[in-house]
Amino acid sequence: MLGDTQGRKFDGYVTDYVVFDLETTGISCTTDRVIEISAVKVQGAKAVDEFSALVNPEMKIPFRASQVNHIYDDMVKDAPVFEKVLADFDAFIGDMVLVGHNIHTFDMKFIQRDAFLYWGRVFANDYIDTLALSRQCLPQLSNHKLTDLANHYRIAADGAHRALADCRMNQKVFEKLGEALQSPAVKRNMKICPRCGQLMRKRSGRFGEFWGCGGYPGCRYTENI
Ligand SMILES: [Zn+2]
């Protein structure tokens, strides 16, 4: 759903959402381009629909990117350009909450950049990043890549690194993280910012420990412990 202001990141669990994932020509949010976008729509915690499209990036895909995502130039040469695919994605997601792994620093930046480029508008959908949730719920894990979480929860990781397979895996992981958020052990060490909905962190300052919003410096809410 496109609007004048972009949606907000928040931390928590919802039962209705769209998981999405991108494959790209590389990791730069300024020069790299999308080559695949996939999504799984979930209602009442159940997957009900899927979306997946290859994209012609109008540039050569670097070999090192193809090695990771197994998408090669000849696979995308007849695919539609991203302006068309992103419009279809927008219709698919409507105003639902978006969910994804590491989307706050990666995927959201690509789709907001391109929505603004094509239409002068941005996605107003609020979104949840499962990377932030997993760091909170599974502090014992040393790595929080999606495949690490799938391993932890014994979720099959077949076809990892293609966008739709990653969405299906991420959807199952998000449901597990939603359960973990309810566990007393996690709740005891967790506080959600009442101002912006993001996880708060224990910080230490001159006068001892306090809760500080994880959205700092965007949100400066604090609370005494
Ligand atoms: Zn906050």
Condensed to tens digits (0 to 9), the pLDDT of residues 41-87 reads: 999 999 999 999 999 999 999 999 999 999 999 999 999 999 999 99
pLDDT on residue 152: 96
**Helix (H) or strand (E) segment spanning residue 20:** strand 17-24
For ligand 1, an ion, list residues with CB under 5 A: 193, 195-196, 213, 215, 219, 221
pLDDT on residue 189: 82
Going from the Cα of 220 to the center of ligand 1, the distance in angstroms, rounded, reads 6
Going from the Cα of 86 to the center of ligand 1, the distance in angstroms, rounded, reads 30
191-214 average pLDDT score: 91
| Residue 176 backbone dihedrals phi, psi, to 5 degrees | -65, -40
pLDDT on residue 128: 98
pLDDT on residue 1: 86
pLDDT on residue 156: 87
Going from the Cα of 89 to the center of ligand 1, the distance in angstroms, rounded, reads 29
pLDDT on residue 14: 97
pLDDT on residue 121: 97
Classify residue 197 as exposed, middle or buried by CB count within 10 Å of its CB (0-12, 13-18, 19+). Answer: middle
Going from the Cα of 214 to the center of ligand 1, the distance in angstroms, rounded, reads 7
pLDDT on residue 140: 92
Question: For residue 186, is pLDDT > 90?
Answer: no
SS3 annotation, 68-110: HHCCCHHHHCCCCEHHHHHHHHHHHHCCCCEEECCCCCCHHHH
CA atoms within 13 A on the CB side of 156: 4
Beta bridge partners of 203: 210
Confidence category of residue 223, pLDDT binned at 50, 70, 90:
very high
Report pTM.
0.93
**Helix (H) or strand (E) segment spanning residue 40:** strand 34-43
Tell me the per-residue pLDDT of 122-161, one tens digit each, with 9 for 90 and over: 999 999 999 999 999 999 999 999 999 999 999 988 877 7
- The residue that leads in pLDDT, 86 or 206, is 86
Alpha-carbon span 161 to 187, nearest angstrom = 32
Q: Which residues are catalytic?
A: 161
